[in-house]
Chain A
């Protein structure tokens, strides 16, 4: 039987959740026995080539490219798991959500104390910022949530193995953390 396929995505976050996945230490070998990684920054596969069983999403949704990729993930993955506070709530990047976007950009690129000859970046190659940083579940349907900043290696391990072996992903008290 083919091993389940897993894809991962880094949206607007710090990559800490991906790091936490690597933090499962030698259990990574067990995981490698259990699954095969498809599109993921871990193996640098850039596009979906086949339907994937589980998509792991890190980061909030802050620009049009995030939206496009999140929708791609929804199309290509049977199960989508939002991983970590940014994916779940927008996280630290969402701290800008109560400040108008214009003010954010002006502070960063025009008026900040270290800005010299500033201008608001406008290249067509740069993704377009959204008005807010959105949690993944406000854009597509999310099947499971794994909280944490990042979720601990134990949380990820417990949830992934349960998911891949068709067991209940109920997290014990100590693994539900918002930080």
Chain B
């Protein structure tokens, strides 16, 4: 047994070329086989790779999808993102707990099924959703749950759903509106053929003239990024596609990867040509593992067509290929430097910048990390020209933007719209009457009140990576914000103090106010903490983690004012709670005086 086990580890490590950089893949493979990564496994992997045990553990302990304790054959990861809870995830959770016979965070008595929560898995348009050993279930109703659980109980061989007889639901596309850039018909190789007949400088210059900016939300000019990367001297350059869309409420990349994977790979190849890279990576979030077969097939087809590989499109010396790296459950890996760390097989901790990835990225080589949508835009710009692209959108935000709309609206899904559309128009389009608030850009973005619905979605006004969550008039908005903060607590990487500790303290402070134990002083403290975390944190996660609080304090002050009490101090201390443990131990049951402050 022990020998088989060691053999499995060694074979797996061999399979990935004994490459320390492939530690994520090695861990994923072993986890799939063994169900968890024990301290023994970690030691064996370290020995096989010739690295330290603590380095393997450092990585393995970071990602949510890696367990270090034995788990059930099947792990049900129910998504508890805000939108999912708005649409019944709590009832589904209860149904799972009843059917499985354990609480979330636990494993059933027969050891077959584990229940876990997971943040947004990119299915906010079809909630409630869950991942079961990589298979996506959507629109789960409480009445479906006993059937799912029974199928999993029956299922052998790793508890795959289809083997248990339960038909997994198809992921719906929900592509509500197509546009001319991303979701238009494409001809494979059209952009590459044009590109290879241009100089690399001309390709970059075309993007520059199109004034295309990064679609992830930050809006850095793509041409400038490619140019910096190209001009940074090194023995290798890399194209990295950020397919780690983890911002709650975003699912546009899911639709691109499903419908227009070819266009993305086309864009990556053009990028490879422009910056002089021979290798590109698609970092795909672990939640989208179900797409990997389709993506690999697309890559294989492109290799057959000579659109990847050597001397692409007949261009002598233009060699480029793409590898897909799967993540393992970490929102922070959407931050480009954290993504690179993860790509190198390490914990997804962001790096300090400078140096920027375009100077020192993957393996310390210049790397251009671009959003899935951005790379699609790049391909189209080369195909149709900068003027065509720049004619769309606004002055500083050219082209179209994909918006993932979810929450309280009639038609959730992906919309490709020209930049400059107002929030109001968008709400009309998606069928959202009487919205009390709209969360633009996900939790890390901003929460807009109706007074701001006339504002335009664009880099110059309301920027967004694409997440739009509509809150109807009945929603408890601040409870939703609390859940957003909870998300940041879970997803903080822990590298820097203000984010690691500050997110937890923000949650406590907000909860105090929501429990009716807050005063004006507590709101001041909430804001002070928020600004500290925002100003002092190391990366974008911490710098935006307080936004749900800071933007609602600004845009919805009445909601807070209605919660606070007069006076300058209410303790969070609760005598009844504080003596409960003692009373249970000693059997005493004192009468408490009415609490006074």
- To the question of whether A and B form a pair in one complex, the answer is yes
Residues in A with CB closer than 8 Å to B582 are 101, 128-131
List A contacts of B587 (CB < 8 A): 122
In this assembly, does B597 line the interface, its C-beta being within 8 Å of a C-beta of chain A?
Answer: yes
Chain B residues near A132: list those with CB within 8 A: 578
Contact flags A134-166 to B (C-beta < 8 A → 1, else 0): 100011110000000000000000000000000
A64 touches B579 (CB 8 A): yes
CA distance A170 to B405 in the complex (A): 54
Q: Does chain A have a CB within 8 A of B569? A: yes
Is B1 part of the contact surface with A, judged by Cβ < 8 Å?
Answer: no
Contacts of A138 in B (CB 8 A): 571-573
Residues of B within 8 A of A74 (CB): 597
Q: Which of B568, B579, B597 contacts A128 (CB under 8 A)?
A: B579
CB distance from A71 to the nearest CB of B (A): 6
Q: Given A122-B587, A138-B572, does the pair A131, B597 have CB atoms closer than 8 Å?
A: no
1/0 per residue, CB under 8 A from A, across B565-585: the answer is 000110111010111111101
List the A residue with the shortest CB-CB distance to B593. A68
B317 interface residue per 8 A CB criterion: no
B593 to nearest A CB, angstroms? 8
Docked Cα-Cα span, A131 to B573, in Å, equals 11
Interface of A is mostly: mixed
Query: B582 CB to closest chain A CB, in angstroms?
Result: 5
Task: Give the CA-CA distance A120 to B585 in the complex, in Å.
Answer: 9
Residue from B581, B590, B596 in contact with A131 in the complex, judged by beta carbons closer than 8 Å: B581
Within 8 A of B (CB), among A95-122: 100-102, 105, 120-122
Q: Is A67 an interface residue (CB 8 A)?
A: yes
A168 to B582, CA, bound (A): 42
Residue B588, interface by CB 8 Å: yes
A128 touches B583 (CB 8 A): yes
Tally of contacts, chain A with chain B, CB under 8 A: 54
> Does residue B562 face the partner (Cβ distance < 8 Å to A)?
no
Taking CB atoms, residues of chain B closer than 8 Å to A122 are: 586-588
Selected contact of A64 from candidates B571, B585, B590, B596, CB within 8 Å: B590
Minimal Cβ-Cβ distance residue in B for A139 = B573
CB distance from B321 to the nearest CB of A (A): 52
In the bound complex, do residue B578 and residue A141 qualify as a contact, i.e. CB atoms below 8 Å apart?
A: no
- For chain A residues 31-78, which have a beta carbon within 8 Å of chain B? 64, 67-68, 71, 74-75
Q: Which residues of A contact B597 (CB under 8 A)?
A: 74, 140-141
Is A172 among interface residues, defined by CB-CB distance under 8 A? no
Q: How far is the CB of A18 from chain B (nearest CB, A)?
A: 24
Contact status B571-A130, CB under 8 Å: no
Query: Smallest Cβ distance from A152 to chain B, in angstroms?
Result: 29
The residue of chain B having its C-beta at the shortest distance from the C-beta of A135 within the complex is B573
A71 — which chain B residues lie within 8 A by C-beta?
596
Contact B586 A102 (CB under 8 A): no
Residues on A with C-beta less than 8 A from B580 are 131
Which residues from B are CB-within-8-Å of A131?
Answer: 577-582
Closest to B568 in A: A141
Cβ–Cβ < 8 Å partners of B573 in chain A = 134, 138-139
Given contacts A140-B597, A141-B568, contact A101 B575 (CB under 8 A): no
Flag if B571 contacts A128 (CB, 8 Å). no
Q: How far is the CA of A29 from the CA of B572 in the complex (A)?
A: 40
Choose one: A75, A120, A141; the contact of B569 (CB below 8 Å).
A141
Complex formed: what's the CA distance from A105 to B586 in Å?
Answer: 10
- Measured CA separation A22–B2 after assembly (Å): 69
Bound Cα distance A74, B568 (Å): 14
Binary CB contact string for chain B from 418 to 451 against chain A (1 if under 8 A, 0 otherwise): 0000000000000000000000000000000000
* A100→B588 CA distance, assembly (Å): 18
* Bound Cα distance from A139 to B593, whole angstroms: 15
Cβ B586 vs Cβ A120 within 8 A? yes
Q: Which residues of B contact A128 (CB under 8 A)?
A: 579, 582-583, 586, 588, 590
Q: Please, which residue of chain A has its CB at the minimum distance from the CB of B567?
A: A141
Question: Which of B571, B585, B593, B596 is within 8 Å of A101, CB to CB?
Answer: B585
Instruction: Give the docked Cα–Cα distance between A101 and B582 (Å).
Output: 7
Interface residues of A in 75-90 (CB under 8 A from B): 75
Find out whether the CB atom of B575 lies under 8 angstroms from the CB atom of A140: no
Min distance, Cβ A78 to any Cβ of chain B, angstroms: 14
Contacts of B583 in A (CB 8 A): 128
Q: Within 8 Å CB of B571, what residues of A?
A: 138-140
Q: How far is the CA of A134 from the CA of B577 in the complex (A)?
A: 13
Q: Contact between B568 and A64 (Cβ–Cβ < 8 Å)?
A: no
Instruction: Give B521's nearest chain A residue, CB to CB.
Output: A141
**Does A134 lie within 8 Å of B578, measured CB to CB?**
yes
Q: Are A105 and B578 in contact (CB under 8 A)?
A: no
Q: How far is the CB of A142 from chain B (nearest CB, A)?
A: 9
| Shortest CB distance B308–A (Å) | 55
CA distance A64 to B569 in the complex (A): 20
> Is A105's CB under 8 angstroms from B585's CB?
yes
Contact with B along A6-41 (1 / 0, CB 8 A): 000000000000000000000000000000000000
Query: Quick check: B575 and A64 within 8 Å, CB to CB?
Result: yes
Cα–Cα distance between A121 and B577 once the two chains are bound (Å): 20
Looking at the assembled complex, report how far the CB atom of B334 sits from the nearest CB atom of chain A, in whole angstroms. Answer: 34
Residue of A nearest to B571 (CB): A139
Q: Name the residue on B nearest A142 (C-beta).
A: B569
Cα distance A29–B587 when bound, in Å?
A: 49
**Least Cβ–Cβ distance between A97 and chain B, in angstroms:** 12
In the bound assembly, the distance between CA atoms of A74 and B567 in angstroms comes to 14
Known: A64-B590, A120-B585, A139-B571. A130 touches B596 (CB 8 A): no
- Complex Cα–Cα for A141 and B586 (A): 31
Q: With a 10 A CB-CB cut-off, give which of B575, B580, B587, B588 has the most chain A CB atoms.
A: B575
State in angstroms the CA–CA spacing of A29 and B84 once bound together: 70
Can you list the 10 inter-chain pairs with the closest CB atoms, starting with the nearest? A141-B569, A130-B578, A122-B586, A131-B581, A129-B582, A139-B573, A128-B579, A128-B582, A101-B581, A138-B573
Given contact pairs A122-B586, A131-B577, a sample of 11 additional A-B residue pairs in the complex whose CB atoms are under 8 Å apart: A67-B578, A102-B581, A122-B588, A124-B588, A128-B583, A130-B578, A132-B578, A134-B573, A138-B571, A138-B572, A141-B568
28 contacts between A and B (CB under 8 A): A64-B579, A64-B590, A67-B575, A67-B578, A68-B593, A71-B596, A75-B596, A100-B581, A101-B585, A102-B581, A105-B585, A121-B586, A122-B587, A128-B579, A128-B582, A128-B583, A128-B588, A130-B578, A130-B582, A131-B577, A131-B578, A131-B580, A131-B582, A134-B573, A134-B578, A138-B571, A140-B569, A141-B569
